[in-house]
Structure 1
């Protein structure tokens, strides 16, 4: 069958089945009473054809439970009795993991994780005697009376993912009975494709998979299944059995009034497209994700007058009964800390933390419950995703995944960042009170995500660096930043003797402001009518850095140095110097802090690696100033510019820091007395991995140099030079001049080079050759697409998307200023080595000849 015949065939099939695809918004000419009569007639005719059994005959041996769908179990077969009134209503299919084996636990896949959600509709296919299930992407909206609405309905139809045979109609023909085993027992992937969703790329083995339990409630039903697959790696095949829970949740008949997002406030969003007859182009909006908090009807006038009132339905989080009891109160405190933010939005008792008193009916995987799920796992992290109604952005349920080993990260952060100023953090054994205090801030941060808030990585830049050394300032402002949604871990700026006690992140000014902006109830009924009010709230604080939002960026290509993970203060160069002073104080104590008499130095080795990584992190914070831009999200009338380069003086200060503290790892960080006993240790799937001194120095140095010479950085510097003039910016030419002088200082002096000086030159030349070689590679069709792929936003599973906004500078980099600068620098180095190849000792001369051979080969010099 050729292409045109296929198209014709599909057209005929579609035409024949057009009535099946009719959407709910299409006006019906059948009255409700007539629908019931028609259903009875269909039932009778189906019985005549032998396509379904009688209701009583089918279910005479059934065990039945009542709920949104009555569930009938006959031996090992499960049946849904779906009322006809629920046909064409929106349901949300929510899939969660309930238990996992060791093999994927180690990969960070754990209980409570949400793998896939999708909106579905059940529709009755009378002719075929089946119920079809369609997936719907509810992204579009148009006025019912507009002509374009017909086109919207025809161009945004649902797709059929499943078909169930109607086994029977109930006694009054108001519901149909369908057998559902295959969509929950692993036979079909239409409702649950867990093994693809978690990245295994396999299918369930139906002979080793089964439905374990089904429960039904007034608004949802819950299906629990055990699904088994096998994964082959090399010559080994490993079985993997995962318990999964599928929720089928009835969405509200009337969606919550959405609220439009604004780039100046950090909320997660879901897209919405608006069509109307009056438009000249489609309206594209982002709806913020938030809980439906509304005052009770009888309290609305009091609310409008500014009185605190309780919401119709509060936000309730349950603490997993599996949580170790000594941490329960800390987790609850982190939840309850958001009360003040909601009070600023006009609601009291809006968010509540509860313990599970009766576990008989409690199920953490039931979407009726929002839970802080405690996962026994070696993974060191926490995560706060939410289940969203995509029609409005309403958060329906949230789960914080709390990995037990997050305490490992907290322990290292506290010891490395604050051990110099807090004797409790540098003690051999951390107290439960100290750990509980840290757990409280992590709880608050993750709950912030479940309330709809994104990371605000720019918040910490609002505090002057030296103010972080002030006991009164940190006590008054609370912690390390105006937002707990920044990664502003612990106060590494404060010095011994400063007397600073408030060193943990806390919910701050920005957080309370953002919650008020997103949750204060406006009796508008239309998100368009809210816009003037929402914008006026932003204008009140638009010039105050305490209320500034800075989006999370790609850590490998940071554009705005103010919005970085784990930096502190308004000058990260100055803050990093302070951090190094504290780090220098704590490193000599590592063996006494982390090693126990009679046991090995494994923990001490891990703590030493944490110290080295902290040193690297400071260097990364500083490095981002070079070629950096301060980014804004201006709107008409606010007088702000969208971008401007980091001041030239700050960039020069950043380079001086790198020259002094980062190009060469300081000796005190690799102290011989420590290295004689243990090496830096990192855990790996194959066991602890030890780093030797020369290797770790070389790798750390190469990483800094390679990032400093990144094409994106050099191209941003070229943009700044073109737009602002080279006399007003730190140019790429000056950068190369400064680093060249530093790398080859002993060569110009004719000295013999030691091993570290040779390493510095090798790393520099290699970074230039590698990056230059990439620029010269012929672009394939695929790589060309990747180079232009800034048009396509990407997001990892359960990760917050990162963005560089409009600062894409990578197109046609082969013929860019970056390529010229790198090749010119290599030629400059080559000419220098030609002049100096006979200076220094024998090893130095051999080193120069080696570099010349590399450059000659890399640039194809004959």
Structure 2
């Protein structure tokens, strides 16, 4: 063969081989890049280069590594896409944040999250169970998904993978030290109020990250630059400590129980699009702990059975020794209601184990619910809980008790029961009596943590005169439920014997625990339980001891906070009679024994608050609407107006006890020893508050509305006429209190001529004031008042009184003729 041809063939083969190698190299590079884009671990740092020998590692749900000032999560791949609950709480709070209505322990956000891998990143996705399809095979499932796209809270670069490739490592330092609104604790309103500019990164840092078997706890110290902070204004900043709890939710959600508004429970809401009805189902489920009997067969036979997993509360190691027994009693007082539901030893109180007994124990571990004793001057106690939004299952709760809260109860005990209860007439309340008060407060907060809201109708279940019966009060306490805001028996009078003055567990608590927690055998779906649940309600229907009254029902005199008894007029009459006795003796019980006026000043201020509450209970009768929650198959209406006679009696009571100056509240032996001035202003503010509340737009609107459904009603005109006659009853020389109150009346008339109704959350009280009868009624009242004042002015020779009437007439003229 020709050598040139042979050489050409050899060269061609070499070039072909070279081209083949090149193409394979390009293909391999392309495959590698493609693999990386799909989440390959190639090209990442070696594990030991990220998690170095300097790392401090905490084992738990995730491994948490601290390397110098950086924190890393080592997330097991088998936890990716699993539902977790991220709960944000304020761990430590600056003074007066939120106007004093926020406390350490306040929850600021709660959201379901999941960790998901996307290419070379780990995404923290926010999930929602408010809109679901219970049937995951339904065609509409895809529509729900694409119309509820899950937002990404944060995207993390993957730093490395574990040596066995079963976990992914990310750096969470920036995430937990940045100003992320979902975690910050300062909402837009607070930021606006305090003129927050930005997070000061130099004064913000991760305090600690701890990993436990079912949760991870992060503490962050945040400092924000703010022009108008709530306290320590010279610093120009707000500092607070946040706690982030990330909790692994149960693999198998608990079977939900369908909510019925006739029994009070905290709830979760879901919209189910897999319904066969003509619209999506709006499902509401109660929040409760998962209690399952150890022996289902014995339980079904009606025997008391222990739960598989009881509810256990541990006492904070910092709890004072002298208070521990009362806290434990308050927790375990709920054992009896749970026995009504078929469970024994369902809730247990324990001391926290010592480090020697259990070195791993921590109050922050989600496996442990704790009654935390907080060394704080805050006067409060709270019972928050964490629940699974998929089912309503309560997973954990911490009861928070603030040290100074007992002082509030001592003060209220003295003021509300001191007239009839000699043992309350002291600043040094008997330790056993204080302990009993603490026991009941702890039990009340545990009730919240068990799923129960306030039941404000429970104190309306008993007749007013029953509170003066020793045998009755010893057996029944002062309300049908511990979950009412009924703290003390302020009705009992001096000389009444064997009276119980402090609240206790009641029949409604047994009923509600049974309704919410009793296992219904063979009911495998929430819907299968409804017939039995409704039967239990109907068995108690009509008995006021088993009625639930919502705290939000501000229009309902049956469901009032801090009230007791089924007749607000009679109850407040007894209460004020007792307050007069207390006011007369207050110096003797305080300053005379301490040789100091501080306690007298504090208690006098709180006495005014107690008086205001008693008055407010009567005001609610006027324009009052009774709310009796019921189903259509029950007789009677859900909403009914308070009868005409009761409303008229209430206004007459206000004229006598409030608008006719209560001079006993301005006792010189008190006021002249605690302040150099301001007594007239104190009384003016108190009287004006109740007058404007009585003549409020929402109350007038309810009276106008009553005309449409009731032929014999107390009208808005009746209200104005009765109130005006009370306020302007005095003749001759007027004192400063009478003059102040009359000016308050006229000024409020000016507001009613121009004010507008604001739409509330439920919208029920909203109406168009301009096109209602309000302006015409006010105009008519002012015209009548002009004639009355002219006559009164002619009948007085007192100079200041005459000037006062001239001023009122001028004010009325300006209201009626604003353009003159």
TM-score (norm 1): 0.85
Question: What is the alpha-carbon distance in structure 1 between the residues aligned to residue 56 and residue 167 of structure 2?
Answer: 18
The Cα shift of 1:560 comes to 0.8
Q: Deviations over 1:273-325 (max 9, x none)?
A: 111262210110211111111113xx011111111111111111122222222
The Cα shift of 1:113 comes to 3.5
Question: What is the alpha-carbon distance in structure 1 between the residues aligned to residue 108 and residue 629 of structure 2?
Answer: 33
Map residues 627-776 of structure 1 onto 2, 5 A cutoff: 627-679=623-675, 692-725=678-711, 728-747=712-731, 751-775=732-756
Q: Deviations over 1:792-825 (max 9, x none)?
A: x4xxxxxxxxxxx67x233211221222211210
Instruction: Tell me: CA distance 1:212–1:577, structure 2 relative to 1, closer, same or farther (3 Å).
Output: closer
Question: What is the alpha-carbon distance in structure 2 between the residues aligned to residue 245 and residue 301 of structure 1?
Answer: 43
The Cα shift of 1:427 comes to 2.3
Please tell me whether residue 159 in structure 1 is matched to residue 151 in structure 2.
yes
Q: Which residue is 2:598 aligned to?
A: 602
The Cα shift of 1:43 comes to 10
1:162–1:190 Cα contact (<8 Å) kept: no
Question: What is the alpha-carbon distance in structure 2 between the residues aligned to residue 103 and residue 625 of structure 1?
Answer: 34
Instruction: Tell me: CA distance 1:809–1:66, structure 2 relative to 1, closer, same or farther (3 Å).
Output: closer
Please tell me whether residue 343 in structure 1 is matched to residue 344 in structure 2.
no
The Cα shift of 1:753 comes to 3.3
- Superposed CA RMSD: 2.6
The Cα shift of 1:252 comes to 0.9
Q: Which residue is 1:799 aligned to?
A: none
SS in 1 for 2:779: helix
Question: What is the alpha-carbon distance in structure 2 between the residues aligned to residue 210 and residue 674 of structure 1?
Answer: 51
Match of 1:511 among 509, 512, 521: 509
Q: Which residue is 1:827 aligned to?
A: 783
Q: Which residue is 1:817 aligned to?
A: 773
For structure 1, the 5+ residue unaligned runs are 1-37, 680-689, 776-785, 794-804
SS in 2 for 1:815: coil
Instruction: Tell me: CA distance 1:324–1:716, structure 2 relative to 1, closer, same or farther (3 Å).
Output: same
SS in 1 for 2:584: helix
Which range moved further: 481-490 or 730-739? Answer: 730-739
Question: What is the alpha-carbon distance in structure 1 between the residues aligned to residue 776 and residue 651 of structure 2?
Answer: 22
1:317–1:369 Cα contact (<8 Å) kept: yes
The Cα shift of 1:398 comes to 1.1
1:464–1:569 Cα contact (<8 Å) kept: yes
The Cα shift of 1:349 comes to 1.0
Question: What is the alpha-carbon distance in structure 2 between the residues aligned to residue 304 and residue 197 of structure 1?
Answer: 52
Q: Deviations over 1:640-681 (max 9, x none)?
A: 2021111111112212211211113422232233334335xx
Match of 1:237 among 235, 238, 259: 235
Please tell me whether residue 493 in structure 1 is matched to residue 491 in structure 2.
yes
Map residues 305-704 of structure 1 onto 2, 5 A cutoff: 305-359=301-355, 360-477=359-476, 479-523=477-521, 524-553=523-552, 558-596=554-592, 599-679=595-675, 692-704=678-690
Number of corresponding residues: 775
Instruction: Tell me: CA distance 1:503–1:86, structure 2 relative to 1, closer, same or farther (3 Å).
Output: same
SS in 1 for 2:588: helix
Please tell me whether residue 138 in structure 1 is matched to residue 98 in structure 2.
no
Question: What is the alpha-carbon distance in structure 1 between the residues aligned to residue 743 and residue 208 of structure 2?
Answer: 63
The Cα shift of 1:450 comes to 0.7
Q: Deviations over 1:593-652 (max 9, x none)?
A: 111556431211221222222222111111111111111222121112021111111112
For structure 2, the 5+ residue unaligned runs are 1-31
Question: What is the alpha-carbon distance in structure 2 between the residues aligned to residue 759 and residue 225 of structure 1?
Answer: 52
Q: Which residue is 1:18 aligned to?
A: none
Instruction: Tell me: CA distance 1:432–1:65, structure 2 relative to 1, closer, same or farther (3 Å).
Output: same
1:132–1:160 Cα contact (<8 Å) kept: yes
Match of 2:204 among 201, 209, 216: 209
1:112–1:365 Cα contact (<8 Å) kept: no
Q: Which residue is 1:224 aligned to?
A: 219
1:71–1:80 Cα contact (<8 Å) kept: yes
The Cα shift of 1:197 comes to 8.5
Question: What is the alpha-carbon distance in structure 2 between the residues aligned to residue 294 and residue 180 of structure 1?
Answer: 38
Question: What is the alpha-carbon distance in structure 1 between the residues aligned to residue 245 and residue 189 of structure 2?
Answer: 18
Question: What is the alpha-carbon distance in structure 2 between the residues aligned to residue 283 and residue 45 of structure 1?
Answer: 40
Question: What is the alpha-carbon distance in structure 1 between the residues aligned to residue 779 and residue 758 of structure 2?
Answer: 21
Instruction: Tell me: CA distance 1:238–1:316, structure 2 relative to 1, closer, same or farther (3 Å).
Output: farther
Instruction: Tell me: CA distance 1:630–1:113, structure 2 relative to 1, closer, same or farther (3 Å).
Output: closer
1:109–1:198 Cα contact (<8 Å) kept: no
1:98–1:365 Cα contact (<8 Å) kept: no
Question: What is the alpha-carbon distance in structure 2 between the residues aligned to residue 740 and residue 98 of structure 1?
Answer: 51
Q: Which residue is 1:91 aligned to?
A: 84
TM-score (norm 2): 0.90
Question: What is the alpha-carbon distance in structure 2 between the residues aligned to residue 167 and residue 433 of structure 1?
Answer: 59
Q: Deviations over 1:548-579 (max 9, x none)?
A: 0110136xxx3111110111111111111111
Task: Find the structure with the greater CA-based Rg.
Answer: 2
Which range moved further: 648-657 or 237-246? Answer: 237-246
The Cα shift of 1:58 comes to 3.0
2:492–2:499 Cα contact (<8 Å) kept: no
Question: What is the alpha-carbon distance in structure 1 between the residues aligned to residue 641 and residue 352 of structure 2?
Answer: 53
Which range moved further: 232-241 or 581-590? Answer: 232-241
The Cα shift of 1:520 comes to 0.8
Instruction: Tell me: CA distance 1:300–1:705, structure 2 relative to 1, closer, same or farther (3 Å).
Output: same
Question: What is the alpha-carbon distance in structure 1 between the residues aligned to residue 39 and residue 364 of structure 2?
Answer: 41
Question: What is the alpha-carbon distance in structure 2 between the residues aligned to residue 351 and residue 651 of structure 1?
Answer: 45
Which range moved further: 461-470 or 362-371? Answer: 362-371
Which range moved further: 542-551 or 232-241? Answer: 232-241
Q: Which residue is 1:182 aligned to?
A: 174
1:209–1:227 Cα contact (<8 Å) kept: yes
